[in-house]
Amino acid sequence: MYDGKTTAAGTAPRPTGREAEMKWKRRLWRAGAVLCAAGMLLCGGICLHQWGEYRAGETAYDTLSSAVVSPPPEEQTAPGPAQEVTLPQVDFGALAAVNPSVVGWLYGPDTVLSYPVAQGEDNRYYLTHLFDGTENSAGSLFLDSRCPGLTGRNSVIYGHYMKNGTLFACLQEYQAQDYYEAHPNLYLLTPEGTVTIQIFSAYVTGAEGDAWQLTFPDREAYGTWLAGLQERSCFASAVTPTTEDRVITLSTCDYTFPDARFVCHGLVREAAAEGER
């Protein structure tokens, strides 16, 4: 006899349309929950890996700095235009032993900016390798491989904008007038001497811009380029470049819009011999 729960053949009756729909929805919900959990685990793993690389890079540069750099006196504060600046001393012999492709050491008083600068055979290697050659997404500061040292009209130094505040992250601060006024100069210490970089322009630009132009057909073209840099600047500056000046450009990534970059331009104002510092 049929008891209302099984068919005459002893099998369960087919579910109604609504029951089938509910069963299908439960399956979809379970599958969605599994996918969400997997996605969260994947994202967590990626974030953990990235944090690990950031930390490893930061530790590597701290260790390198401790080994080759003698810091300025602790009482040194951010210099104003008329203040004497006490710079750190760099053991370039020890630094070259780590990486013979060293160009110099970039230093910003009263900032986190204190890193070696290398120059590779291309502009890709140091995007994913630390100064000592270790593969790491933090990369290293590096001079454009096409630059003839620092002798050209525009020498470009690249570096990542790190979300942990290291490397070129501090360049973004130049969007504020008061920050520029407190930090008008950066310094590139080299084996030959110290180059003062007098910042005169900073702005967000697209990757197709001319901030990275290295050569110019004539003096007039160079002057036009310099005028354009001034016009685009986030801050006002009394520094006026001339066609007799050389420029150092610091370039990093920016997230204002897709494929954006943030650049700072500075003039090479003086070079002191190593023994005169």
Q: Residue 268: which of 220, 214, 206, 200 has the closest Cα? A: 200
pLDDT tens string, the chain, 277 residues long: the values are 444 444 444 555 666 667 666 777 677 777 666 565 545 554 444 445 565 788 899 999 999 999 999 977 655 443 444 457 889 999 999 999 999 999 999 999 999 999 999 999 999 999 999 999 999 999 999 999 999 999 999 999 999 999 899 999 999 999 999 999 999 999 999 999 999 999 999 999 999 999 999 999 999 999 999 999 999 999 999 999 999 999 999 999 999 999 999 999 999 987 544 444 4
Q: Residue 116: which of 191, 211, 170 has the closest Cα? A: 191
Q: Does 21 map to a domain?
A: no
Q: Does 4 map to a domain?
A: no
First CA to last CA across the chain, in angstroms?
A: 107
Domain region containing 262: 51-276
How many structural domains does the chain have? 1
Q: Does 18 map to a domain?
A: no
CATH of the domain at 256: 2.40.260.10
Q: Does 200 map to a domain?
A: yes
Q: Does 40 map to a domain?
A: no
CA–CA dist 94, 170 (Å, integer): 27
Q: Does 127 map to a domain?
A: yes
